[in-house]
Structure 1
Amino acid sequence: MTAGIAAFTLDSPHNRNALSVGLANELAAHLGRAAEDPSVRAVLLTHTGETFCSGIDLAEARAGTGLSASQLASLLRTVVETPKPVVARVTGHVRAGGLGLLGACDIVVAGPAASFAFTEVRIGLAPAVLSTTVLPRLDSRAVSRYYLTGERFDSAEAARIGLITLAADDVDEALEPILAGLRSAAPGALAAAKRLTTMAAREFFDAHAGELTALAGRLGESAEAREGIASFLDRRFTTKKESL
């Protein structure tokens, strides 16, 4: 921790920082510790490598040991309801469920190397559970376009549609005044302000999380999704082998 900011780094290079069961549990535990630590004003979520988060760990999903839809919903709700603000530092790619993680964060700053895509439709799924945090934030026309096409977009577009807070050429420089402001805030007032800013997200969770979790479960069990996930993983393995 540095001067009131507790940092957590997504560091799972073998799967491009995918949300495995282990990583999700570690993140939830870290947030729990930060919430109880009176010296912590905010949490900074960052990453190693060229990918912030590639979504759910599909290899675990294919093996039947992956993060369930209800577990993902629980993780996203934990981020939203953590009384300390959660700030994301993004200098790499974000895909699928990783976008739900960004939606749950309070402040997101992304650099020019970052890219974003709701890729679920390309493997027989839909952005169901992550919609709990994304839909309350995003422009509805942008949601229609990017949910339905799976297109990739950059940081400037992510800021325009409300997925991130700020697109910056120098992420660390852009974060300096943000983190300084959080450090100077009174703890009780900061927690109260976060409850105000997450009101829409918490209400959306209450109204729709059950329905979206059930939808994710049905899609995940479909033959179309099984085939899509297998095809994606086999293609990724072949690409890696050819690049050696």
Structure 2
Amino acid sequence: MTSLIGRTRERGVETLSLDATGTRNALSAPLVAELAGALTDCARDPDVRAVVLTHTGGTFCAGADLRDPPAPDAFVALLRRLVELPKPVVARVTGHVRAGGLGLLAACDITAASTASTFAFTEVRIGVAPAVISLPLLPRTDPRALSRYYLTGERFAAPEAARIGLLTATADDVDAVLAPVLDGLRKAAPQGLAETKRLLTVRVLEAFERDAADLTALSARLFASPQAREGMTAFLERREPAWVL
């Protein structure tokens, strides 16, 4: 079976690349399972100081794979694994991010994107809601901005993503921005990184403990609904869904 996650290592930094360009790195059940396994390997490996999550192709992640989606609880487990990993996770984005891909970004500790990247919460346009991705998003981003972008599904640019707290930084050359970040992580003690990350993720993990079960159930219910079936069919057929005025 072809791997969906590329893996390289340089001076203690493990780079995991979403590598399903045929589906624009959509979150399929196999991709979610393979990424979760790779993160588990990184957690157990004492030679891994930090993880970079990046992508091949022009899209970081197109959201859920509508033909082969992961179970909602499997995706929640992946998001939680990113948050709980005892090593910093740095997102490197040089392309577009949609829907569930924004949940991946929110679950990372440091996020940087090129100025050419674009973002959108497209769930409402297919009849569902950004349910489980709200677990890491709501504690970390501007709630008024989320109200706009959740409800409209409109696209926004990298500077706006940085303003609302989705990104740590944006620049034309994202690697130049991340070079001092990775150097800093390499200089930090593993224990110091793990315990500092634990301090920083308290509120996010509280959201998982409080809301994960309810949001997982909501996601499953919405994806099984008649409106979602119409929305997903319209998306796959490249037409407007029936409710568009």
TM-score normalised to the size of structure 2? 0.93
Q: Offset of 1:124 from its aligned partner? A: 0.4
After TM superposition, give the deviation of residue 69 of structure 1 in Å. Answer: 1.1
Matched with 2:53 is 45
Q: Partners of 2:236 and 2:198 in 1: how far apart? A: 40
Q: How much does 1:140 deviate?
A: 1.0
Alignment correspondent of 1:83? 86
Q: 1:239 aligns to what? A: none
**What corresponds to 1:10 in structure 2?**
18
- Report the Cα offset of residue 22 of structure 1: 1.0
The CA distance in 2 between the partners of 1:58 and 1:183, in whole Å, is 39
Instruction: Report the RMSD for the aligned CA atoms in angstroms.
Output: 0.8
- Contact 2:92–2:113 at 8 Å: present in 1 too? yes
In the aligned structure 1, how far is the partner of 2:148 from the partner of 2:128?
16
Contact kept in structure 1, 2:128 and 2:223, CA below 8 Å: yes
Q: Does 1:55 align with 2:58?
A: no
Q: Which residue of 2 aligns with 1:19?
A: 27
By how many angstroms is 1:167 displaced? 1.0
Query: How many pairs does the alignment contain?
Result: 231
Report which stretch shifted further, 227-236 or 37-46.
227-236
Deviation at 1:68, TM superposition (A): 1.2
1: CA distance, partners of 2:55 / 2:70? 20
Among all aligned residue pairs of Structure 1 and Structure 2, give the percentage whose two residues are the same amino acid.
60
Measured in 2, the distance between the counterparts of 1:19 and 1:79 equals: 15
Q: CA deviation at 1:120?
A: 0.3
Query: How far did residue 215 of structure 1 move?
Result: 0.8
Q: Deviations for 1:9-48, whole angstroms, at most 9, x for unmatched residues?
A: 1010111001111111111111111111111110011101
Deviations 1:55-89 (A, max 9, x none): 110111xxxxx201111111100111111111010
How far, CA to CA, are the matches of 1:107 and 1:51 in structure 2?
Answer: 19
Q: Give, in angstroms, the shift of residue 159 of structure 1.
A: 0.4
Q: 2 CA distance for matches of 1:172 and 1:227?
A: 41
Q: Quick one: distance in 2 between partners of 1:81 and 1:6? A: 17
> What secondary structure does 1:58 align onto?
coil
| Residue 126 (structure 1) aligns with | 129
Distance 2:186 2:44 in 1: 16
Cα distance, 1:168 vs. partner? 1.2
User: Which residue in the other structure is 1:110 paired with?
Assistant: 113
Q: Identify unmatched segments of 5+ residues in structure 1.
A: 61-65, 237-244
CA distance in 1 between partners of 2:238 and 2:151 (Å): 22
1:225 aligned partner: 228
C-alpha displacement of 1:113: 1.4
What is the rounded CA distance, in whole Å, between the counterparts of 1:185 and 1:39 in structure 2?
A: 13
Give distance in 2, aligned partners of 1:229 and 1:114. Answer: 24
8 Å CA contact retained: 2:28, 2:64: yes
Secondary structure of residue in 2 paired with 1:136 = helix
Q: Deviations over 1:180-217 (max 9, x none)?
A: 00001000111000101111100111111111111111
Q: Distance in 2 between matches of 1:140 and 1:9?
A: 30
Task: Find out whether 1:186 has 2:189 as its counterpart.
Answer: yes
CA contact (8 A) 2:116 2:172 kept: no
Output aligned runs, 1:57-206, within 5 Å.
57-60=65-68, 66-206=69-209
